[in-house]
Copies of this chain bind each other. A is one copy, B any other.
């Protein structure tokens, strides 16, 4: 659910959460555990630009100085491309950049070359998208399941408790959402221990970077069209990425199902947002390709300026709202006062199409992810056995702390686990020694505190050397990557209008960042280049 996981300046806090929650580090020690052949293949890829990147006029002497010059030329060409093509974020150095568009812009941080990614895992991840879309919809309809699964979480997490409160109100009045729109992103890592694609989380609210993410794929294609030959990389192996236009089309089609020509799409946003250009790309596509106006409002503005008419119509500033698209509202920080909660409730009570509804939002919580991983739970929601097998294959181990056997294992082998707070949108993951100490303390205390955490199988992503570009400067570091697959789902009663995979987002993070150093939270936007391995 985090909206801004790349370390655009303002989002370092949130990224830090994401990085820590969702991207367990590959500690230096564990690098040795990576199978040499795999490790070499990754390192050699990312090093291509260092070792072999001789420009057309540079003799292939392996001269490090010339290779560095070509790399600098590529980084400069890439930064120019970003400025000309809108691959930009607000620069934290300019205080106005998060509030006023067009001011204080800087290119989004990016990797100079796309990350190698095996075709087979790419295919697997793409196939999962419509299956997860359908799963979210099915689970969302089971209000009792959501309430009971989250009943212990509500005791320890005020934020989830408030969401459940809204959900319960909707259940009490038997509120139905005939038109349901989901814009999801399922995030995966490749685990080098098991050589498998494992899901990190499923985002059902405020999935970010359909706009900038698809631009990075275009940037990498453009660079490889120019430098690919000398690098031995074929731009055609970068999968097409139309996430922005496909998400915009899904919003448009939902708008069309609402059947009211003068209605608008309302994007719920944070008061300050340095990744606003990611959102503006959707606004731009909606307007240019579909003629639909999107307005941007904070939850506080919705509360102050909005009302629900007796027939359920949501009106904000005199405009009828067909679709509410949340790009905020996923974290406790988004609700600094009761005003924001009132705004959220107002939206939920209306007949506007919500992306997501409160039910969809709850399906994306880590606790539900854990419940779905339990034996025989998927079978309640999915009929197709093949789909169930595919889903289960990507589930990492997830356990609640009432499972004494797992807790015992984790205390014995803490390096194989991650201890995650249940709380959404904040808090730090615990590893190793801290994980063991915390588990021992929680066991002694017993009680509700146990429900505040879940245990997850630790994933050991492969590490690679990567050229990262930030603020016009290129540098090399050891990184790990996380692949997000966007998915769109639109349903009107029994009619499934859309159920598609919609592009992808690769995020690449400095691997030392998870060890709590100064670089914590540093990540860049990336794309992938498919390999046959």
Q: CB within 8 A of A107: which of B103, B226, B318?
A: B103
Q: CB within 8 A of A57: which of B78, B284, B319?
A: B319
Q: Given A57-B262, A96-B472, A100-B472, are A283 and B106 also a contact pair (CB < 8 Å)? A: no
Q: Given A84-B280, A226-B287, are A103 and B101 also a contact pair (CB < 8 Å)? A: no
Interface check A86, CB cutoff 8 A: yes
Task: Give the distance in Å from the alpha carbon of A78 to the alpha carbon of B103 in the complex.
Answer: 12
Contact B277 A84 (CB under 8 A): yes
Contact B79 A100 (CB under 8 A): yes
Contact B86 A102 (CB under 8 A): no
1/0 per residue A46-78: CB within 8 Å of B?
Answer: 000000000011000000000000000000101
Contact A104 B91 (CB under 8 A): yes
Task: Give the distance in Å from the alpha carbon of A102 to the alpha carbon of B83 in the complex.
Answer: 5
A30 shortest CB reach to chain B, Å: 35
- Residue among A106, A287, A317, A318 with the highest chain B CB neighbour number at 10 A: A106
Q: Provide the residues of chain B in CB contact with A78, threshold 8 Å.
A: 102
Task: Give the distance in Å from the alpha carbon of A101 to the alpha carbon of B73 in the complex.
Answer: 11
Interface check A85, CB cutoff 8 A: yes
Task: Give the distance in Å from the alpha carbon of A96 to the alpha carbon of B106 in the complex.
Answer: 11
Name the residue on B nearest A281 (C-beta): B84
Contact B284 A84 (CB under 8 A): yes
Interface check A179, CB cutoff 8 A: no
Contact B106 A103 (CB under 8 A): yes
Name the residue on B nearest A66 (C-beta): B318
Q: Provide the residues of chain B in CB contact with A79, threshold 8 Å.
A: 100-103
A467 shortest CB reach to chain B, Å: 15
Interface bin, chain A: 35 or more
Interface check A105, CB cutoff 8 A: yes
Name the residue on B nearest A471 (C-beta): B103
Interface check A93, CB cutoff 8 A: yes
Contact A105 B80 (CB under 8 A): no
Task: Give the distance in Å from the alpha carbon of A371 to the alpha carbon of B317 in the complex.
Answer: 63
Q: CB within 8 A of A101: which of B86, B96, B319, B472?
A: B472
Contact B106 A106 (CB under 8 A): no
Interface check A358, CB cutoff 8 A: no
Task: Give the distance in Å from the alpha carbon of A360 to the alpha carbon of B287 in the complex.
Answer: 46
Q: Provide the residues of chain B in CB contact with A56, threshold 8 Å.
A: 262
- Residue among A96, A103, A226, A281 with the highest chain B CB neighbour number at 10 A: A103
Task: Give the distance in Å from the alpha carbon of A288 to the alpha carbon of B221 in the complex.
Answer: 12
Q: Provide the residues of chain B in CB contact with A106, threshold 8 Å.
A: 102-105
Interface check A456, CB cutoff 8 A: no
Q: Provide the residues of chain B in CB contact with A103, threshold 8 Å.
A: 79, 91, 106-107, 471-472
Task: Give the distance in Å from the alpha carbon of A283 to the alpha carbon of B81 in the complex.
Answer: 10
A294 shortest CB reach to chain B, Å: 11
Q: CB within 8 A of A83: which of B76, B86, B96?
A: B86
Task: Give the distance in Å from the alpha carbon of A96 to the alpha carbon of B85 in the complex.
Answer: 20
Q: Given A86-B85, A226-B287, A262-B57, are A80 and B102 also a contact pair (CB < 8 Å)? A: yes
A221 shortest CB reach to chain B, Å: 11
Q: Provide the residues of chain B in CB contact with A284, threshold 8 Å.
A: 80-81, 84
Q: Provide the residues of chain B in CB contact with A287, threshold 8 Å.
A: 226
Interface check A82, CB cutoff 8 A: yes
Task: Give the distance in Å from the alpha carbon of A222 to the alpha carbon of B317 in the complex.
Answer: 24
Task: Give the distance in Å from the alpha carbon of A91 to the alpha carbon of B361 in the complex.
Answer: 40
Interface check A88, CB cutoff 8 A: yes
Task: Give the distance in Å from the alpha carbon of A340 to the alpha carbon of B245 in the complex.
Answer: 49
Name the residue on B nearest A76 (C-beta): B101
Interface check A445, CB cutoff 8 A: no
Interface check A94, CB cutoff 8 A: yes
A110 shortest CB reach to chain B, Å: 10
Contact A80 B472 (CB under 8 A): no
Q: Provide the residues of chain B in CB contact with A83, threshold 8 Å.
A: 86, 88, 101-102, 105, 277, 280
A67 shortest CB reach to chain B, Å: 15
Task: Give the distance in Å from the alpha carbon of A106 to the alpha carbon of B96 in the complex.
Answer: 11
Contact B107 A80 (CB under 8 A): no
Q: Provide the residues of chain B in CB contact with A86, threshold 8 Å.
A: 83-86
Name the residue on B nearest A100 (C-beta): B472
A112 shortest CB reach to chain B, Å: 13
Q: Provide the residues of chain B in CB contact with A76, threshold 8 Å.
A: 100-101
Q: Other CB < 8 Å A-B pairs besides A82-B102, A84-B277, A226-B287, 13 of them?
A: A57-B319, A76-B101, A80-B101, A80-B277, A83-B88, A83-B105, A84-B284, A93-B94, A102-B472, A103-B471, A104-B105, A105-B105, A222-B288
Instruction: List, sorted by A's number, 21 A–B pairs whose CB atoms are closer than 8 Å.
Output: A57-B318, A76-B101, A78-B102, A79-B101, A79-B102, A80-B102, A80-B284, A82-B102, A83-B88, A83-B102, A83-B277, A83-B280, A84-B280, A86-B86, A88-B105, A102-B106, A102-B107, A102-B472, A103-B471, A103-B472, A226-B287
Which 5 pairs across A and B sit closest by C-beta, in order of nearness?
A79-B102, A102-B107, A84-B86, A105-B105, A100-B472
